[in-house]
Amino acid sequence: MLGDASPLTCRSYGFDLLRWYRVLWALDVGWEQATEAETAALVGWLRSARNPQRQRRAGGHRAGTVNPKTGKPTLRAGYAPVTIAHNLSAVHGFYAFHLHFGRGPVVNPVPENRARRAALAHLSPIEARAAYRRGRLRPKVPARQPRALPDHQWDELFTQMKCARDRALLSCYVSSGARASELLGVELGDVDWTKGQLWVISKGSRARQPVPVSPEALAHLAAYLEEAGLPPDGMPLWRTRRGQPRPLTYWAARRIIQRADEAIGANWTLHDLRHTAATRLARDPELTLVEVQTILRHAHISTTALYTVVGLDDLVDKLAEHYARPVQATTWPQRYEASDIEAVFGAGR
């Protein structure tokens, strides 16, 4: 909080420290006496325990398997490697903060990875990242590739939206590329109908910035406001539909996608809508990568370049044409003599 981090960041670090303290309480060790042995106990527990947030409903795909329709892996039953790495970073920062004021153990219980710090120090964006070894107790964190909805699956998901609010919400997500929490905070005064844009509070800088929105999304938004009425001053556009109108939370918006997923057998998420918008923009030949970076508000263009990578799912039609074409016979340029080819490659060539 003193470092001016966002409330969500403080909340996330608070849960990380709560896990750490629960391990210390179970081992009957004070936080001032913690060593690397307690960190090893934390990592071992996280790698074997079940995550209570990963409880799956009966009839769904087994945890950790790949959804056959979307090609996305379902969430594991336990804690993900990125969660374990984040927890270790939070605990390391906690003890580094107290060590500065002369409190806690002299040696940080979370091992430092000096090779990583040396490899990433003063790194130029145009230079390749140097390889480095993982620190002790650090899990293997796989590189996450963006997952965009194919056009036919987007149409199928959009068909499951049963009210004007949900149709407007999804249209704004997939045309603006805004993050989930950013779009949910938009108020009536943040809609610029003439320019076709919305003003959002950016997640990283917390600055008020514009994002584009398609005419189709504005039409759905107008239909939603006509049906639900204009929100009072200070209330976001997106409100609940039952009982007294309240601002639509992230968890409620996520549940909208989950209900649609259950109906079509998919496992798309709210953040996949941002991936879909970014992929569509990055693959538009009329838009440069720098322009897409401006729309998505990425700090580094290398992040935007991730959306230009072509996946195997995008090559299905081209591969079908490739396999349908007959095998081409080997031909040789006319400037080579037949005797020369036979001498080099042998008879029968």
Distance CA 221, CA 248 (A): 15
Using alpha carbons, list the distances in angstroms from residue 144 to 141, 226, 248, 307, 337. Answer: 9, 40, 28, 12, 53
Using alpha carbons, list the distances in angstroms from residue 25 to 18, 36, 84, 172, 242. Answer: 10, 16, 19, 47, 43
Active site residue 274: yes
- Pick from 286, 314, 315, 262: which is nearest to 147 by CA? 314
Active site residue 298: yes
Per the residue annotation, which of 147, 165, 274, 280 is the catalytic one? 274
- Pick from 217, 118, 177, 123: which is nearest to 304 by CA? 177
What's the per-residue H, E or C state across 181-234? HHHHCCEHHHEECCCCEEEEECCCCCCEEEEECCHHHHHHHHHHHHHHCCCCCC
Per the residue annotation, which of 54, 69, 76, 203 is the catalytic one? 203
Per the residue annotation, which of 13, 79, 224, 307 is the catalytic one? 307
Supply φ then ψ for residue 253, to 5 degrees.
Answer: -65, -40
Instruction: Determine how β-strand 208-212 pairs with β-strand 197-201.
Output: antiparallel
Per the residue annotation, which of 179, 220, 275, 297 is the catalytic one? 179
- For 34, the 3-state DSSP assignment is coil
Active site residue 271: yes
Please list the active-site residues: 179, 203, 271, 274, 298, 307
